[in-house]
A and B are shown apart, each in its own frame.
Chain A
């Protein structure tokens, strides 16, 4: 307590001395007037000081941004080895090489689709999270992908898009939904032997007998191509008894090889539940199904000759989902992964903007009888427009440079179809191409594409500051 009093006393004395005109005035003149004078000219430190503090940043910028850009421009005018000046040849190559044109096409698809979806999804999430109770938890979950590196996200989605439904979640979901509506039951893959001795052949997907059969005859329909384990529980095949037109459908394969081809050998399994049709003159005259031992009977057929047909429905392969990693779907698939990563980021930015818009405008609109949709459409979105634009443009810049997701998700065989400019740039310069002249040209091309959006964004920020 006394210390404090002492402390207060000292400046108090000084003040008292300064307030009173007299010889003690020299002391405040020494300290205060110079600072006061400078403050009138400029707030902050001297220009020398400013340069000193800016210097590290300037050096780093020069070394890591300006020098590489200048060097890339120079390098792009030389050939692969770097010792022959080729002028704009590398740039011409960008627009004549078909594989590079594919990368440009893919980049256009990316720019048109990805930023728009990310912004729209971000907006929807942001508006919805305002209304729900567990908003923070919801936001946290949506934002979580941002915490994962793009590389890890790529690895995750490579697995998600795996063709085999046992491994890939995407196809697991699709096949589950599909099978809920129509499940395939039968013997996918079963087929006749491919030689002239086989009594049946494949015609338009269906299995048909080579020779027509008459009632009273027993038809043998040997099939192969099924895994033994798939019919492990089936009853052994039997020859059909006589009476009417009859026959046997069975798996003509013995474990370990051997057995007589096209003959029922006792251990071979019958194929149950196969639809069998008797066809005459292109018309199905009768239909039946095989029993557990693979035998079938047509009773009451008029005499004449019939083709015995096992329609395609018996052999339809189960629906195995989509080839996400195939050449047609690969770009949409990777864009899906990109959206997963960035939608949360967009949501957080837009939610921040949302919390800043004046509530009274919304209230006023509601009191005036606007529906929620009208409020969203006429009030929220226009007020949010600046934020939405910033998110959109940032995403465009981001998307133009996309590299890692494409590199990791696309298997080698479809990388030409999934390729984007940034990846092509790396490939031609380092990934086997060894042509850093061309790589530099692509880098500069990419820079030129990104630049307008950068300038646009910077201008916007400037205007907002004013």
Chain B
């Protein structure tokens, strides 16, 4: 399982190479096959949608697509982009043969592709659905240069800490409501009982950025969060120092991390989940709602052995950080817009919500649709937090800074974990790379 991402990425690379070759030979077909059955508005129209989902996630999504086909008569083809959506889409866009609709894993890509003029503005029908179902923050996330290009179709709740109930029972540890309690009581009690409190998956740099974002949103507040996300304040800001100091309370203690920092840096996601629920070597994983599937694979019952606590307050704000996927139109086709309209609607969201592992950012999708109590609880926090919710900062940054293995924020937070004493030095390196990436 853990070997999958590189493999997938290589496959994506191969696929990208192939498609870029064929693109020059075969002119783009617009999916306008002759309409045969007039009863359904899009009968016979072929639509291609590309997203990174595979396995169960893909199966769930294809159920939504089937519902759309039933309703409209269109024929939707799903293409998996692999882990690296940019590497898949880039050559296809350059070759003049993009899919009708693509689901981008980061809003940063919306900006990037809008700058390259690869995106098509959404039709008024889609905009109506967005205005009905989403708060303005989400609408803004899918926009670039004042123009709305994308709709957030799937959310990931990143302000959760997963813990193993049996480890907490053995140690007599309790859920923590504040960061100081988490470090001073919960983690310390666990460490004293001989169980490593945290299994960090630091080989996957994005898990560290998620941790930083929660601590920063909580300690510095949403205004600073927005400023830092837009690089309006530098990474050398004192508020960043505070957040890094708090993280150093974990990174600086060998007993707090399974395998110490060198062990953590060699562990990628979801191996850390296995370490907690499968090997039972550690007690907590700081990651998003999607840990559930890996925890279940390790044999833990969700809600009994595998439980979540909201990310504790490290300051005045209760952090709610979301990740999510944004659907955009790459071709100005009728079918593509209709599909986007369906995905943005309550109707489409309700169908999707009945599948496991899905969380909707659509405020009109009723939490009652979700199959598990846990998802219902998470959905409630998103809806009730409303305007205070923030999107994953590293995904808002240019991908050269916030989304590349071995570069920018990923690299420097990993270096910080390796040597948590040099906070000032790390901040300077972060700022240098951020300045370079945001300048482009």
Chain A residues within CB distance 8 Å of chain B: 80-81, 99, 151, 154-155, 158, 162-164, 189, 191, 193-194, 224-228, 230, 253-258, 323, 325-327, 404, 407-408, 411-416, 419, 426-427, 430-436
Q: Does B404 sit at the interface, judged by CB under 8 A?
A: yes
Q: Is the CB of A431 within 8 A of B405?
A: yes
Point out the residues of chain B lying under 8 angstroms from A163, CB to CB.
259, 262-263, 266
Contact A256 B170 (CB under 8 A): yes
Docked Cα-Cα span, A303 to B297, in Å, equals: 62
The one of A164, A191, A257, A413 that contacts B171, using a Cβ cutoff of 8 Å: A257
User: Residues of B contacting A80 with CB < 8 Å?
Assistant: 440
Q: How far is the CB of A162 from chain B (nearest CB, A)?
A: 8
- B404/A326 in contact, CB under 8 A: no
Would you call B265 and A326 a contact (CB within 8 A)?
Answer: yes
**Mostly helix, strand, loop or mixed at chain B's interface?**
helix
A440 to chain B, nearest CB (A): 13
Q: Is the CB of B403 within 8 A of A432?
A: yes
- Establish whether residues B266 and A434, one from each chain, have CB atoms under 8 Å apart when the complex forms: no
Contacts of A414 in B (CB 8 A): 265
| A325 in contact with B90 (CB, 8 Å) | no
Contact B410 A227 (CB under 8 A): no
Q: In the complex, what's the smallest C-beta–C-beta distance from A175 to chain B, in angstroms?
A: 15
The interface centre, meaning the residue of B3, B112, B193, B407 with most chain A CB atoms within 10 A of its CB, is: B193
What chain A residues lie within 8 Å of B403 (beta carbons)?
A: 432
User: Which of B3, B173, B195 has the largest number of chain A CB atoms within 10 A?
Assistant: B3
Task: Please report the C-alpha to C-alpha distance between residue A24 and residue B406 in the assembled complex, in whole angstroms.
Answer: 86
Partner of B87, one of A191, A226, A431: A431
Q: How far is B400's CA from A448's CA once the two chains are assembled, in angstroms?
A: 27
| B375 contacts the other chain (CB 8 A) | no
Q: Which residue of B lies closest to A155 (CB)?
A: B3
Inter-subunit contact A412/B84 (CB<8 Å):
no
The distance in angstroms between the C-alpha atoms of A189 and B196, with both chains bound, is 11
Q: Which residues of A contact B245 (CB under 8 A)?
A: none
Closest CB-CB distance, A79 to chain B, in whole Å?
9
Say yes or no for B191: interface residue by CB 8 A criterion: yes
Question: Using a Cβ–Cβ cut-off of 8 Å, how many residues does chain B contribute to the interface with A?
Answer: 50
B407 adjacent to A413 (CB under 8 Å): no
CB pair B268–A432 under 8 Å, yes or no, is no
User: In the complex, which residues of chain A have a beta carbon less than 8 angstroms from the beta carbon of B205?
Assistant: 412-413
Tell me, yes or no, whether B204 is within 8 Å of chain A by CB: yes
Q: A225-B191, A412-B203, A412-B268 are in contact. Are A432 and B84 (CB under 8 A)?
A: yes
A312 CB to closest chain B CB, in angstroms?
15
A318 to chain B, nearest CB (A): 13
* Cβ–Cβ contact A430 & B84, under 8 A: yes
Within 8 A of A (CB), among B381-422: 399-400, 403-407, 410-411, 414, 418
List chain B residues, Cβ under 8 A from A227. Answer: 193-195
Point out the residue from A81, A326, A415, A419 that lies within 8 Å of B266, measured CB to CB.
Answer: A326
**Separation in Å of the B410 CB from the closest CB of chain A?**
7
Instruction: Name the CB-closest residue of A to B203.
Output: A411
Q: Which of B4-12, B37-45, B96-104 contacts A (4 or more CB under 8 A)?
A: B4-12
Q: A413-B266, A431-B9 known; A257 and B255 CB under 8 Å?
A: no
**Is B13 interfacial (CB 8 A cutoff)?**
yes
Could you list some 13 contacts between A and B, CB below 8 A?
A99-B407, A151-B7, A154-B6, A163-B259, A225-B191, A228-B193, A323-B266, A326-B262, A408-B3, A412-B204, A412-B414, A432-B399, A435-B400
- Most A CB atoms within 10 A — which of B191, B255, B407? B407
Complexed CA–CA distance, A426 and B170 (Å): 48
Establish whether residues A323 and B268, one from each chain, have CB atoms under 8 Å apart when the complex forms. Answer: no
Residues of A within 8 A of B86 (CB): 430, 432, 434
